[in-house]
Amino acid sequence: MDLFNDLTGKLGKVQDVYIEMLSEVVTDEKNLKLALFFIVFNPLFWNTAARLEYKTHFLTKITGSAKRGCYVLAVTIFSLGIVRDYFFHQALMQQPTSRVLDTDAVRKAGMVLSAFGQVLVATSMYQLGVTGTYLGDYFGILMDNIVTAFPFNVSNNPMYHGSTLTFLGTSLYYGKAAGVFATVLVNLVYNIAQQFEEPFTAQIYAKRDAERTKKSS
Annotation-wise, does 116 bind a ligand? yes
Annotation-wise, does 177 bind a ligand? no
Buried/exposed code over 8-38 (b: 16+ C-beta within 10 A; e: otherwise):
eeeeeeeeeeeeebeebbeeeeebbebbbeb
Buried/exposed code over 117-137 (b: 16+ C-beta within 10 A; e: otherwise):
bebbbebbbebbeebbbbbbb
Annotation-wise, does 29 bind a ligand? no
Angle (deg, nearest 10), helices 66-94 and 158-174:
20
Instruction: Dump strand ranges (E) for the chain.
Output: none
Annotation-wise, does 198 bind a ligand? yes
129: left (phi over 0), alpha (psi -120 to 50) or beta: left
Residue 43 makes CB contacts below 8 A (sequence gap 6+) with 189, 190, 192, 193
Residues that constitute the known binding site for S-adenosyl-L-methionine? 115-117, 197-198
Residues that constitute the known binding site? 115-117, 197-198
